[in-house]
Structure formats: C-alpha cells, structure tokens
C-alpha cells in the first residue's frame, strides 16, 4: 500500500470502551478464584458456598461431606483441618540493577513490583503439587520481580532490557495453568522476571461486517465477553477457567472451551497474532479468511507455553450473540448407553453447543452438591426419585447424566432439540429438565473451588484430561480407573480412591475425556508425591490405551517426560531449533 493510499481495513470498525479497572485485590492469592467465594463449613457442621457470585452461593449442602466420606471410605470430620501454613518462606529476590534501571525508563513505578507475596503468586499455577507446596512446604524459586506492561512498546522495552542484561522472562496471564508451567526452574541463576499481562485487557477494535476483533492478550474470558456483548458479539470460547484465564494463555496452551462444538477451539478462532520475541516482533494483524503460505507464526504460538515470546494481541473470529439459549439434560441407565447416545448425536450433525456426559460417580457428586430441600420441594424430590428409580427402572449406582446447552437461532435450536431428544429416547434416555442442565453447566465454574476445600480436609484431588478415538474411549475410561485402583491398593493407601470421568467435547474422530482423581492423604508419608506418582501412572495408562498426552491443559513441565513417547527425535530437534533460532540467549527460559 502506497503512503498516499488510505487504509480501508479500519472502515466501519468499532472501538469499544475499555473494561473497568481490574480489582486484583478480589483474587485469592493462595487458592482458586475470588477471595469472597469458596466452600466452607457452617457452625452446624454443614458445607456452604460463601459469596454471591455463583448460583450455588449461599446454599447449604448437607449431603456433601457425608457423601464424600462414604465414597472415600472414611468419615470426614468438619473440624479435622489440615491447617495451611501459607504463605511459605519466600526466597529472597535476585536483583539485576542494570535491567531494573533500563525498564524504569519505560515503565511507571506502579508497573514494577518486588513485593514478596506478589512474587510468590506469580511463581505457581494450580497443580495439586503447587497448591501443596505453598500451603505445607515451599517453592524453591519464584520470580524476583513482577512487571505489568500496558503497551506493546513497553513489552519490547522489557524484552530488549532482558536481552541486554541477561534476565529470564516468564509470561503470566491468569495463573490458572495445571502443568507446572509457571514454576520457576530451581537451577536458574539469572534474575527471573514475571511479565503480568493483566493490564493489557482491551478489545482494541471490532470489525462487525467481517466478524473480527483485535484483543489484547491479557484480557480474561469474562472481560472479553462483556466488551463484545455490548456490541452484539461473542467469541464463544468458554473454558472452565473462563473467569480468570486470558486470551494469551488460551493461545499459549492450545486451549479448548465448553462450547467448542459450536464455536471451535482456539486454533479455529485465532486468525492473527502479535508476539514480542527476543529477535523482534512477529506481527500479523491483517488477515484473510484463509491463506496458503506455510510457516504462519500464529500457528507456531499455539501451545508454545511461553517459550517463544510474549503474546501481546490477537485477531480472532467473532459470532453474533445467539438469539436463543436453552439448557437441557438427559439421564441414561448406564455410561455405555450415554456414550452411544453421544456418538449418535455427533453423527446426526445436530450437535448442541455443549454436550457433556458424566459417569455414575460424577453424577452422584452432582447430587451431593444440591442444596437442602424442605417442605413441598422435598416432597416433589422424593416423588421424582421414586418415579425414576422405581417405575422407570434406573439404578442409583449405575445411572448417568448428560447436560446440554443449545445456542443459535430459534430455528436452529429447535431442530437440534428435536434430533437430540429423539436420539436420547432411542437410547432409553429420559429428559431430566432444563433446570438440571443449567445447574450442571454453571456448577463447572464453582466446582473449581472444591479441590482447595478438600485439601483442607486431608483429601488430595486434581483433574487431568485426554483426547481419544471413539473406538477406544470406553476401554480407556475403564483402564484408567482400574489402574488407579491398583496403584492405590499397591501402596496401601487409606480408604477408597475416587476416580471419575466425563466426556466433554466431540470430534469426528473421537472425544475429550476429563478425569477427577482423589484420595485420603491423612497419615500418608509424602502424600503429595504419592499423588503425583499415581497421576503420572494414570497418564501412562492413557497413552497405552490410545489417548493423547493432553487435550487442552498443555504439557508445561508436568508432562515433559512423555514427549519422547509421542514425538520422534527429529520432531523434538525441530522444536529445539525453532526456540534457539528465535531466542538464542534463552531469554524466555521458563523451561516448558
């Protein structure tokens, strides 16, 4: 384009107002989510959920601890607490005066922080081991400094200074990862600086005619949703960590969302990216619907996990806000029947935005999270239970549930509902209502808090996921469960292992399966290490059963040992050479 030629790319663009300033103090420093939210014990010994952010907030959950004690094989006493020692000892910072002097010329004083608790929070994600370490042990290394850029130019100044003064940089989004990606290498001798992208959280522009948007990488899912919704659009990407995780994090971890069936995964939504590397800026804001060019930098960044540079902004696809949103649910007499229903739905082509199948144990878990009912509501609940278990022949220890979310035009949603519920009937499924479907979907966001609550009560728990072909999915679920039971028994661990799964995303060739694993840790020597060992063995079983190393959590440091099993030596060499060519000084030395 010549200098005198007008730039028509910006014609008709909308430039949204920025989001409200982030209330960083609202976020919990040591456990998942917000300070004002989470599970806790009432004076009467029941469980409740404090705060008012979620539908479950303020409800009394009298069945949760008794049920958990039953399935884990040991009573859980409300007052038997594994008291947290947070915060642990925080390593003293390793200062680099030259770097500090250089960035002070580009950043304001409030953008450069060396406060101990803030450094600690930027040195971990949310694996079980990291949560254990900050409560009951310590982290060997944390960032020595945290910086908060507001512009691309400031990021470039930070990276340039790091290159000049031999500093290690670690990008930080929402801090929600489950792969040890934020854990600082213990043997890193250089000063480590965390680049917190949270103040770069704007939707820079919306192109309504072409359904595009340019969004800064530090924007969380909820910030993106609110800014786009004001102008009638959605990105449609809604992972479980949607409130806290960021666009840059989604790209860096190759993420997936609960509405993937309608809107696609992050690779389907990402069209252009700007990333600041140690070798310069990779920039691709001008995008076409599709190009055959090869070596597209946007593709390199997917799953890069902070190794190649700092993602500063992305161009993504948008969709009009759906005219209709309906929740639904179906129960089946067995997991196999529900799974065959899922396969039939996918083959029909009438696939809801979200369709998730829970096994029996996870279905029971959902029932244990229901609030206490009294009076007429309690009577109705008993009648419904009698109808399902008595007249319809469902068995409480075998039945499963499938939650549904339909989004789109009225005509599209109606067509999907007709097809899905007809297929459910063919597989002996029974409609269980929109209320249960909506409750199951919304529980996804509040249930994330339960791992930290259970750790307080001597229960270690975590999730892990995989993708697997349709033909191997049922066997994989059974194999992993059996292997966990065997390892639990072999070690003589107390109680009964909790291992459950759900099918969460559908593909032409297979499905994503999401596991939860927990065990009683009281009296177990090196309990957190034992947990990690069993989880590692479960991953071995997943690979042996035809599953992937990860579906959407990524690799980080947690699963690096498996890379040689899934990639050839040549592939591993290519990855290493790409990193060395872009970052010859290993400035982005996070070790992922």
- Residues designated catalytic: 514
Give helix 527-544 / helix 470-490 axis angle, nearest 10°.
150
3-state secondary structure of 123: coil
**Residue 129 to residue 121: CA distance in whole angstroms:** 14
Q: Yes or no: say if 352 and 421 are a contact pair by the CB < 8 Å rule.
A: no
CA distance to 1, 337, 338, 390, 401, per residue, from 386 (Å):
73, 22, 22, 5, 17
Burial class (CB in 10 A: 0-12, 13-18, 19+), 2: exposed
319-320 vs 430-431, strand pairing mode: unpaired
**CB atoms < 10 A from the CB of 168, how many?**
24
Omega of the bond prior to 87 within 30 degrees of 0, cis? yes
Phi, psi values for residue 379, rounded to 5°: -65, -45
**Residue 453 to residue 68: CA distance in whole angstroms:** 12
Which ranges constitute the DSSP H helices of 448-508? 450-456, 470-490
Length of the chain, in residues: 592
Show the CA angle centred on residue 513, arms to residues 507 and 515, nearest 5°: 165
Tokens of 369: 């999270």
**Residue 271 to residue 316: CA distance in whole angstroms:** 5
Burial class (CB in 10 A: 0-12, 13-18, 19+), 543: middle
DSSP assignment, residue 302? T
Q: DSSP states of 425-455 as a string? A: HHTT-EE--HHHHHHHHHHHHHHTTHHHHHH
Side-by-side strand order, sheet with 60-61: 38-41, 47-50, 60-61
Measured distance between the N- and C-terminal CA atoms of the chain, rounded to whole angstroms:
40
Report the b/e string of 46-66 with b at 16+ CB within 10 A.
bbbbbbebbebeeeebbbbbe
Q: Yes or no: say if 195 and 220 are a contact pair by the CB < 8 Å rule.
A: no
Count how many Cα atoms sit within 13 Å of the Cα of residue 324 in the half-sphere of its side chain.
14
Beta bridge partners of 53: none
Cα-trace Rg, the chain: 24
- Torsion angle (degrees, nearest 10) of CA 15, 17, 22, 23: -170
């Amino acid at each position: 384009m010549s200098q005198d030629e007008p730039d028509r790319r910006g014609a008709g663009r909308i430039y949204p107002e920025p989001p409200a300033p982030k209330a960083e103090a609202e976020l919990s420093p040591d456990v998942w989510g917000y300070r004002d939210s989470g599970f806790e014990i009432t004076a009467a010994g029941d469980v409740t959920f404090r705060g008012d952010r979620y539908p479950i907030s303020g409800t009394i959950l009298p069945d949760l601890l008794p049920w958990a004690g039953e399935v884990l094989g040991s009573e859980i006493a409300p007052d038997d607490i594994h008291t947290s020692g947070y915060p642990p000892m925080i390593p003293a910072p390793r200062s680099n005066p030259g770097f500090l002097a250089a960035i002070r010329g580009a950043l304001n004083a409030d953008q450069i922080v060396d406060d101990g608790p803030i450094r600690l929070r930027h040195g971990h994600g949310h694996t079980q081991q990291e949560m254990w370490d900050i409560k009951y042990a310590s982290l060997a290394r944390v960032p020595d400094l945290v910086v908060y850029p507001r512009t691309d130019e400031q990021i470039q100044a930070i990276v340039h200074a790091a290159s000049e003064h031999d500093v290690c940089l670690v990008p930080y989004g929402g801090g929600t990862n489950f792969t040890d990606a934020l854990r600082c290498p213990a043997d890193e001798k250089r000063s480590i600086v965390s680049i917190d992208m949270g103040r770069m959280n704007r939707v820079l522009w919306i192109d309504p005619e072409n359904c595009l948007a340019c969004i800064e990488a530090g924007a969380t899912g909820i910030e993106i949703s609110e800014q786009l919704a004001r102008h009638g659009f959605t990105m449609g990407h809604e992972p479980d960590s949607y409130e806290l995780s960021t666009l840059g994090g989604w790209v860096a971890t190759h993420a997936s969302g609960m509405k993937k069936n309608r809107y696609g995964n992050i690779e389907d939504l990402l069209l252009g990216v700007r990333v600041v590397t140690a070798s310069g800026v990779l920039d691709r804001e001008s995008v076409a619907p599709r190009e055959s060019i090869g070596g597209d930098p946007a593709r390199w960044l997917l799953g890069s996990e902070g190794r190649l540079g700092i993602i500063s902004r992305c161009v993504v696809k948008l969709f009009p806000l759906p005219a209709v949103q309906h929740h639904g649910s179906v129960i089946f007499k067995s997991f196999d029947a529900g799974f065959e229903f899922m396969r039939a739905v996918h083959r029909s082509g009438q696939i809801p935005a979200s369709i998730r199948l829970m096994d029996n144990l996870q279905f029971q878990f959902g029932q244990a999270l229901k609030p206490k009912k009294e009076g007429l509501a309690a009577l109705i609940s008993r009648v419904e239970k009698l109808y399902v278990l008595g007249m319809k022949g469902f068995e409480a220890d075998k039945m499963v549930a499938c939650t549904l979310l339909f989004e789109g035009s009225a005509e599209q949603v109606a067509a999907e509902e007709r097809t899905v519920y007809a297929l459910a009937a063919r597989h002996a499924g029974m409609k269980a209502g929109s209320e249960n479907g909506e409750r199951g979907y919304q529980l996804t966001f509040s249930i994330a808090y339960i791992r930290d609550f259970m750790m307080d009560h001597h229960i270690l728990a975590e999730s892990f996921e995989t993708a697997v072909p349709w033909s191997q999915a049922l066997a994989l679920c059974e194999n992993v469960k059996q292997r966990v039971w065997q390892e639990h028994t072999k070690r003589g661990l107390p109680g009964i292992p909790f291992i459950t799964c759900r099918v969460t995303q559908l593909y032409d060739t297979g499905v994503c399966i999401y596991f939860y694993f927990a065990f009683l840790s009281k009296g177990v020597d090196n309990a957190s290490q034992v947990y990690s060992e069993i989880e590692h063995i479960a991953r071995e079983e997943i690979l042996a059963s035809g599953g992937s190393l990860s579906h959407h959590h990524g690799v980080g440091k947690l699963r690096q040992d498996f890379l040689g099993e899934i990639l050839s030596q040549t592939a591993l060499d290519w990855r290493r050479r790409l990193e060395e060519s872009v970052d010859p000084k290993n400035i982005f030395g996070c070790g992922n």
